[in-house]
């Protein structure tokens, strides 16, 4: 699978349909892949925190989760959010042979999310669940459930750290961190309308609905600064190369 990059962070160049086919093939062949959603804030943390970058680089597939990330990529890449991929897997559960385990969030959010998704997609197979607070025996629950897909809603970087540390022990085929997705499907958090998602303004909607997210603005500004700096350096290299070439011709 080809990757492009943003500030040295990889993004997988894959379409949503192709990704589902990859997931189905991984389940059928009884292999294991880990997927991580890459957004602007996560990239900034990877740039400034070597430990964070080391964790993320251990994943197999890197989803371009955010319009700013897509725009900043060195090559064309499709935006695929963690929550959208989660819903795709639930919708196609029977078709791709997915038996899903829901891990994380509160007991209420976990339960309501499963109920809502089961109502939307009756063919979805739920192998088991465990909330993110009473999870001392979560590994045993996952292994006994027969699950081959694991959704982990613990937020960044906890879910990524957990996947890298325990993912292979679970015996599942698909490992995906989904952040606050359970809260969204449980109705505790509202997601931006589709037209705002397509316009690349989902981040603003979330900040308005959850004012505590305004503290993320410095990281978003830092992302823009770093991208502009990198693009400027790339342009200078190109222009410098042309000047050198022109001098040689003279």
pLDDT band of 191, cuts 50, 70, 90: low
Q: Where are the beta strands (DSSP E) in the chain?
A: 3-6, 9-12, 33-38, 61-64, 99-104, 125-130, 149-153, 174-177
User: Contact, 198 vs 58, CB < 8 A?
Assistant: no
Q: Work out how many domains the chain is built from and give that number.
A: 1
* pLDDT (0 to 100) of residue 249: 38
> Is the whole-model pTM more than 0.75?
yes
Which residues touch 24 (CB under 8 Å, ≥6 apart)? 92, 95, 96, 97
Residue 240 has pLDDT above 90, yes or no: no
pLDDT at 1 over 50: yes
Q: For residue 73, what is the DSSP state?
A: S
Mean pLDDT over 72-78 rounds to 93
| DSSP-based three-state secondary structure for 10 | strand
The per-residue pLDDT for 248 is 44
Whether the per-residue pLDDT at 247 is higher than 50: the answer is: no
Residue 250: pLDDT band by 50, 70, 90 thresholds? very low
With a pLDDT cut of 70, the percent of the chain lying above it is 88
Q: State phi, psi for 114 to the nearest 5 degrees.
A: -65, -40
> Mean pLDDT lowest for which of 160-164, 210-214, 229-233?
210-214
Separation in Å, CA 12 to CA 1, 46, 76: 7, 17, 10
Quick: pLDDT tens for 30-67: 999 999 999 999 999 999 999 999 999 999 999 999 88
The whole domain housing 43 covers 3-246
7 alpha-carbon distance from chain centroid: 17
Let me know the angle formed at the C-alpha of 102 by 98 and 103, rounded to the nearest 5 degrees: 135
Q: Is 16 helix (H, G, I), strand (E, B) or coil?
A: helix
Joined together, the tokens standing for residue 18 give 């192709």
């Amino acid at each position: 699978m080809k990757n492009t990059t943003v500030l040295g962070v990889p993004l997988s160049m894959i379409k949503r349909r192709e990704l589902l086919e990859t997931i189905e093939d991984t389940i059928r062949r009884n292999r294991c892949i880990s997927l991580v959603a890459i957004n602007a804030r996560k990239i900034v943390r990877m740039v400034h925190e070597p430990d964070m970058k080391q964790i993320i680089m251990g994943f197999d597939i890197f989803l371009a989760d955010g319009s700013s990330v897509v725009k900043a990529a060195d090559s064309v890449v499709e935006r695929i959010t963690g929550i959208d991929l989660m819903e795709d897997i639930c919708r196609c559960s029977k078709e791709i042979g997915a038996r899903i385990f829901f891990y994380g969030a509160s007991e209420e959010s976990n339960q309501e999310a499963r109920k809502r998704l089961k109502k939307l997609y009756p063919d979805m197979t739920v192998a088991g669940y465990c909330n993110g607070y009473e999870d001392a025996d979560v590994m045993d629950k996952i292994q006994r459930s027969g699950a081959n897909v694991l959704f982990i809603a613990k937020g960044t970087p906890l879910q990524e750290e957990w996947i890298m540390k325990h993912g292979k022990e679970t015996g599942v085929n698909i490992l995906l961190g989904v952040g606050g997705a359970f809260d969204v499907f449980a109705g505790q958090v509202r997601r931006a309308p589709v037209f705002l998602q397509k316009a690349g303004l989902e981040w603003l909607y979330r900040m308005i609905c959850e004012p505590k997210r305004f503290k993320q603005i410095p990281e978003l500004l830092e992302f823009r600064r770093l991208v502009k700096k990198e693009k400027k350096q790339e342009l200078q290299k190109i222009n410098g190369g042309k000047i050198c070439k022109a001098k040689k011709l003279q």
